[in-house]
């Protein structure tokens, strides 16, 4: 009689691990299929055959599309046509700028996350997070981004294919707002009208304080769009980005974005910059803008300031991932901070937490203070306000403090006069360089047909550079910025030595800014020199600290020092 072999434990383990392996392989196949983001279908690809032509020095064209570099340092771009076409022409005309922008972006990411393995992990997590984004982004903008991506660099294919990568970058603005460590975000805007302005007409000012390194802000593009559908409009942007953060259309409607505190997003949606872009392209008044905002699902919470020449008024659309409200005070002064003001949202727990813990309310009060000092606001007064580097009651709270209106991090600063279709854009650095003025109607009339290289801005309406740009204080600020990175590195790597003399020089470069004292404290704390750490931390607490989180961090270190002594 034959002896049957039983189901041994060894066989059980074999089948168990085989089952696990099948599950892992199956999940991997599903995962990589799920994160694929195919580009939209485009029937006519003939625009890809067009070549960029040199018209003059720093002046290029494809058909009627144009790119030139102004003597001001700003790039001026004109685009027209159907979505894919204008994306292709955008990509071909700005290929070098797009590459430089992506280089700067990836460089900053590597500074924040030096681990290659963790970066690789984040790449797949971001792809998974954004895997359904094309279900939310309108097909028109998918096609435009697809056109741009055809000229994107092949150097970063390890991050993702060109289309998925460029589309995902449009969500970086939102993720930066949700994860404040990713990028500094603390924009401030204001609108004045009627009795508060020199001509009784609307004027809007805003600083776009989205910071991912100085290199990212070097090449600003003023893009004039004539799409095949909707309004002609202008927006201030950068290479490879078709969303709107600041813009005005031919009907005198302006759009600017201000981040609000948001829960960390866990699913993809329509990037807020593309919602703002849709408003700019398709809305002629505040009601139409609000209707567009309501129908779109957003990643994060955002305040969208809308000024309208047709309505002769300014309102703020307050949008969260789950709801939308219109703050429409119909007053001569409207201030756009980083917290919500509508009845629907102002008393929510998240908004009240934002008011308590962030710099938003402080800047709101400072803006009220500055506006009250002028009987009438014109474009020069608006620039003065946007360049203000003091705290409440003109207190010196340190250069670069997030509680300042001018934090010395702005990608751009802009002033709008919607009734006249005029706008002023700051030139480098930050909002310290001169503001140059463009007339929207004039540019659309002459730019597409230009064959001679000449300036488009109105020289007689330029706002001179801030005198601060030539001061000793600004030299000190540049020294502070450079040394700050050395200190941050030294905190992580205790083998890096900084002399007492260099520490004192660093502090004297920006002595009223709490952060120099905090960094010095961190330097000594990392080396277990608790006596010096305590001194610098305690001094930091006597300064105007930006957020409650930063104050708490210093106080926690002081508690730990007391325990260890």
pLDDT (0 to 100) of residue 307: 98
The residue among 176, 200, 204 whose CA lies nearest residue 190 is: 204
Tokens of 510: 């920006």
Q: Domain segments of the chain: what residues?
A: 53-351+408-467, 472-564
Please report which helix (H) or strand (E) contains residue 409, including its range: none
pLDDT (0 to 100) of residue 36: 62
Is it the case that residue 27 has pLDDT exceeding 50? no
pLDDT (0 to 100) of residue 184: 46
Q: Are residues 76 and 235 in contact, defined by beta-carbon separation less than 8 angstroms?
A: no
Tokens of 39: 């580009």
CA 236 – CA 243 distance, rounded (Å): 9
The residue whose two tokens read 């992990």 is: 121
Q: For 116-156, give the DSSP string.
A: HHHHHHHHHHHHHHTTTGGGTS-HHHHHHHHHHHTTS-GGG
The mean per-residue pLDDT over the stretch 351-362 comes to 93
The mean per-residue pLDDT over the stretch 147-172 comes to 86
Least confident of 100-104, 127-131, 165-169, 207-211: 127-131
pLDDT (0 to 100) of residue 11: 57
The mean per-residue pLDDT over the stretch 10-30 comes to 49
Is it the case that residue 28 has pLDDT exceeding 60? no
Of all residues in the chain, the percent with pLDDT exceeding 70 is 87
The residue among 448, 453, 449, 443 whose CA lies nearest residue 54 is: 453
pLDDT (0 to 100) of residue 130: 67
For domain 472-564, the CATH architecture is Alpha Horseshoe (1.25)
Q: Please report which confidence band the pLDDT of residue 2 belongs to, taking 50, 70 and 90 as the band edges.
A: very low
The mean per-residue pLDDT over the stretch 222-251 comes to 97
pLDDT (0 to 100) of residue 182: 41
Q: For 257-268, give the DSSP string.
A: EEE---PPP-S-
If you average pLDDT over every residue of the chain, what do you get? 89
Tokens of 462: 């330029």
Question: pLDDT (tens digit, 9 = 90+) per residue, 382-407?
Answer: 999 999 999 999 999 999 999 999 99
CA 265 – CA 246 distance, rounded (Å): 23
Range with top average pLDDT, 145-159, 263-277, 417-431: 417-431
- For residue 491, count other CB atoms closer than 10 A to its CB: 18
Phi, psi of 56 (to 5 degrees): -165, -170
Is it the case that residue 181 has pLDDT exceeding 60? no
Pick the CATH number of 53-351+408-467 from 3.60.60, 3.60.21, 3.30.70, 3.40.220: 3.60.60
| Interior angle at CA 130, CA 126 and CA 135, nearest 5 | 170
- Check for a shared fold between 53-351+408-467 and 472-564: no
Question: pLDDT (tens digit, 9 = 90+) per residue, 183-198?
Answer: 445 788 999 999 999 9
Question: pLDDT (tens digit, 9 = 90+) per residue, 81-123?
Answer: 999 999 999 999 999 999 999 888 888 777 766 666 656 666 6
Q: Are residues 62 and 53 in contact, defined by beta-carbon separation less than 8 angstroms?
A: yes
CA 155 – CA 320 distance, rounded (Å): 36
CA 523 – CA 532 distance, rounded (Å): 9
The residue among 394, 398, 338, 337 whose CA lies nearest residue 177 is: 338
Q: Please report which confidence band the pLDDT of residue 161 belongs to, taking 50, 70 and 90 as the band edges.
A: confident
Strands 188-192 and 184-185: unpaired
CA 490 – CA 155 distance, rounded (Å): 31
């Amino acid at each position: 009689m034959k002896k049957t072999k039983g189901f041994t434990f060894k066989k059980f383990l074999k089948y168990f691990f085989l089952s696990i392996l099948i599950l892992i392989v199956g999940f991997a196949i599903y995962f990589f299929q799920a994160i694929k983001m195919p580009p939209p279908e485009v029937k006519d690809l003939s625009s890809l055959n067009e070549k960029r032509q040199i018209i003059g020095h720093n002046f290029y064209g494809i058909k009627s599309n144009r790119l030139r570099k102004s003597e001001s340092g700003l790039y001026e771009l004109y685009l027209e046509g159907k979505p894919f076409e204008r994306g292709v022409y955008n990509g071909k005309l700005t290929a070098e700028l797009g590459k430089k922008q992506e280089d700067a972006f990836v460089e900053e990411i590597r500074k924040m996350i030096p681990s290659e393995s963790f970066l690789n992990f984040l790449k797949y997590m971001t792809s998974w997070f954004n895997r359904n984004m094309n279900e939310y982004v309108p097909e028109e903008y998918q096609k435009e981004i697809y056109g741009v991506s055809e000229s994107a660099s092949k150097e970063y294919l390890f991050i993702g294919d060109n289309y998925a990568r460029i589309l995902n970058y449009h969500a970086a603005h939102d993720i930066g707002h949700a994860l404040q460590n990713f990028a500094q975000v603390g924009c401030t805007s204001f609108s004045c009208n009627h009795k508060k302005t020199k001509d009784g007409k609307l004027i809007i000012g805003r600083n776009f304080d989205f910071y991912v390194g100085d290199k990212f802000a070097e090449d600003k593009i003023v893009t004039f769009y004539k799409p095949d559908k909707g309004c002609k409009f202008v927006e201030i942007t950068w290479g490879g980005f078709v969303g709107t953060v600041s813009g005005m259309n031919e009907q005198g409607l302006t759009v600017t974005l201000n981040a609000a505190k948001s829960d960390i997003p866990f699913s993809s949606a329509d990037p807020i910059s593309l919602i703002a872009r849709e408003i700019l392209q398709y809305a002629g008044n505040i009601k139409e803008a609000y209707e567009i905002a309501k129908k779109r699902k957003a990643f994060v919470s955002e305040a969208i300031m809308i000024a309208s020449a047709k309505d002769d008024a300014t309102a703020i659309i307050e949008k969260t991932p789950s709801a939308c409200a219109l703050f429409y005070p119909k007053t001569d002064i409207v201030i756009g901070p980083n917290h919500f003001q509508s009845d629907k949202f102002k008393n929510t727990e998240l908004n009240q937490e934002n008011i308590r813990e962030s710099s938003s309310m402080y800047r709101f009060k400072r803006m009220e203070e500055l506006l009250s000092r002028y009987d009438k606001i014109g474009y020069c007064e608006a620039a003065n306000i946007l360049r203000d580097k003091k705290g409440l009651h003109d207190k010196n709270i340190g250069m670069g403090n997030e509680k300042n209106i001018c934090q010395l991090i702005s990608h751009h600063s802009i002033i709008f006069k919607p009734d006249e279709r005029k706008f002023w854009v700051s030139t480098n650095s930050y909002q310290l360089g001169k503001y140059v003025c463009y007339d929207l109607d004039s540019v659309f009339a002459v730019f597409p047909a230009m064959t001679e290289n000449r300036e488009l801005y109105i020289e007689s309406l330029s706002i001179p550079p801030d005198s601060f740009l030539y001061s000793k204080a600004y030299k000190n600020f540049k020294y502070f910025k450079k040394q700050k990175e050395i200190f941050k590195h030294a905190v992580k790597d205790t083998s890096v030595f900084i002399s007492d003399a260099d520490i004192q020089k660093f502090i004297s470069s920006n002595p009223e800014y709490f952060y120099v004292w905090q960094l010095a404290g961190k330097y000594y704390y990392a080396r277990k020199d608790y006596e010096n750490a305590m001194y610098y931390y305690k001094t930091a607490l006597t300064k105007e600290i930006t957020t409650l989180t930063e104050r708490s961090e210093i106080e926690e270190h002081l508690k730990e020092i007391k325990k260890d002594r």
